[in-house]
Amino acid sequence: MNKTILAACCLLLAANAPAFAGDPAEGQKKSQACAACHGADGNSAIPDNPRLAGQHYDYLLKALKDYRSGERKSPIMGPMVANLTQRDIEDLAAYFSSQKGLVLKH
């Protein structure tokens, strides 16, 4: 019984651990193409373009992957991410998610 609880706790911990595969420093180097529209640190000054700073890592990952696969359609973002590798996407998501900006709002 105790072992089951322990196993369940371990699973929960593992599930909640941030799957942080990207390298923020590498992401910053790769973010120059993003800066014109999203701001250098992801705090975009253009209202139509979302702020990325402080956004969740895995949400940014999903957004970039969906643009790349065409699941999410954008005439601007589609071509921007078309040639990104999985590693590029992880690095970019790591960089922008580590910047200060967006917050949880109730």
Partner 1 sequence: MGNFRYNRRRQVHDNNESTTMKISTMIPVAVAFGLTVASLPLHAAETGDAAAGQGKTSMCIGCHGIGGYKTAFPEVYHVPKLGGQHAAYIVKALQEYKAGNRSHPSMRAIAASLSDKDMADLAAYYAADAVKSAAK
From the list 62, 78, 80, 87, which residue makes contact with partner 1 (rule: CB under 8 A)?
62
Site string for partner 1, 4-43 (x = CB under 8 A): ------------x--------------------------x
Name every residue whose Cβ is closer than 8 Å to that of residue 80 and which is 6 or more positions away in sequence.
33, 34, 67
The Cβ-side half-sphere exposure at 38, using a 13 Å CA radius, reads: 26
Nearer to partner 1, 23 or 101 (CB): 101
44 scored as a contact of partner 1 (CB under 8 A): yes
Count, residues near partner 1 per rule CB under 8 A: 28
Q: Closer to partner 1 at the Cβ: 29 or 56?
A: 56
Residue 67 interacts with partner 1 (CB under 8 A)?
A: no
**In which element (H, E) is residue 12 found?**
helix 2-16
Q: Which helix (H) or strand (E) holds 35?
A: helix 32-38
| Exposure on the CB side of residue 75, measured as CA atoms within 13 A | 0
* Footprint of partner 1 (CB under 8 A): 16, 43-44, 46-51, 53-59, 61-62, 71-73, 100-106
